[in-house]
Amino acid sequence: MQGVIKSYDPGTGDGVVVAERDSNEYDLAPDALEGSIFRMLRQGQRVLFEVDSDGRASGLHLGSEQDLATPTVKPLD
């Protein structure tokens, strides 16, 4: 499933991923980054993940190349 990093604390490894399809939030499993190229995560970063038997995000991999950013608002003319 694809999602977006909502928060991540590199010191503790705690974080939350929001699934794109239904906006459900999943806490990161303690081993979420094991075997992946990630060493750090940033808010808004897209990732692919699986949900483990405890309902936590695990097995993170690169998601879409484009991160979700704050939408820009065009000024009214």
Pairing of strands 57-62, 15-19: unpaired
pTM: 0.76
Return the pLDDT at 72. 47
Kindly indicate whether the domain formed by 2-62 is annotated with CATH number 2.60.40.420. Answer: no
Return the pLDDT at 35. 78
pLDDT digits (tens, 9 = 90+) for 10-68: 889 899 999 999 999 999 999 888 877 777 889 999 999 999 999 999 999 876 555 44
Dist. CA 56–CA 63, nearest whole Å: 17
In Å, the largest CA–CA distance within the chain is 52
Q: Which of residues 38 and 2 earns the better pLDDT score? A: 2
Q: Where are the domains of the chain?
A: 2-62
Evaluate if residue 73 carries a pLDDT over 80: no
